Amino acid sequence: MAKQHKRVLVTGGAGFIGSNLVRLLCDAGYEVLVLDDLSSGFKRLVDKRAQFFEGSIADEKLLLRILSRVEVVFHLAATSTITYSMTHPRFYFENNFMNGVRLLEVMRKKGIKKLVYASSAASYDGKKRTPIAERDPIGPINPYGASKLAFEHVMSAYFNAFGIEGTALRFFNVYGPNDEQPNATRAIPMWLEAALAGKPVPYYWKGKQKRDYVFVEDVARAAMLAAEKSHGFSVYNVGSGTGHWMIDILREIERQLDIKLVLKDMGERAGDPKYAVADTQKVQKELGWKPKTDLEEGLRQTIRYYKKRFKKV
């Protein structure tokens, strides 16, 4: 159980994963502050029980003001579209890497000793077919993954030099309610938006990629468990541990919607690995975390959310 009234900050708390995490933190009795510049998040997604600040983690004066008495920082603010990173790499390193360093510097000044970070499975080299473990080779194949991994190294340095404990959670393919990415490029929201609008559903690589989809509430629970543990600097995979061919996920969506999807073959897409499935033994052993929601049930909840959003019955 969380301590009552523990004061925490969630950067990116108006985004997809962040807004789900904020809700669960509020449910658990935390005092939650949210910082988001709303570049890809939405204030309406933020739980009303949380205190919201609009702004950037690059704003040191704002950070110094709102980080008073904060015990834990959940750092989810980032630019997260892989395809955009292929055309604007410098922006990714500035936002995901350098702004993260600015956040750690303010934490150091304020004496805050715990950071839980939303890292990415894009840190790996994408070459291994079998489930990927934390000890397996890293070597990002796109600037997004490189920017996320680079900040992990900074976290390690800040723990060893300044005693700021850090947990980097390498998320695999997260899906679920509140994923309202502008100009959606993540597969499930992109597919559902097209399907519910009666449009052709775009897909890549003929659906022959194997992915590990993990429900957003499970991911939020992993972040909360990480905040309750003391373990120096650690890295954990957060995924379902089960791989699904993308074409099979499309067929499950088709089955649940009870419609015949018109698929639009978009060919290959730069920056995509062929396989990405998590080995979750470490996070199970050290954090006691396991996903609770399987893909069928997770898709059911996600589809319900999107039908409501698009006012579909």
Residues annotated as catalytic are: 144
DSSP 8-state symbol, 70: -
CA distance 144 to 215: 21
DSSP 8-state symbol, 2: P
Name all contacts of 84-88 with Cβ < 8 Å and 24+ positions apart.
Answer: 84/185, 85/142, 85/143, 85/144, 85/147, 85/271, 86/142, 86/143, 86/270, 86/271
Two tokens, residue 229:
């543990």
CA distance 19 to 34: 9
Name the β-bridge partners of 117. Answer: 75, 168
Task: Establish how many alpha carbons lie within 13 A of residue 307's alpha carbon, considering only the half-sphere containing its beta carbon.
Answer: 11
SS3 (DSSP) at 305: helix
**Nearest in space to 238 (alpha carbons), one of 299, 291, 188:** 291
In sequence order, what E strands does 15-148 have?
Answer: 31-36, 51-54, 72-75, 114-120
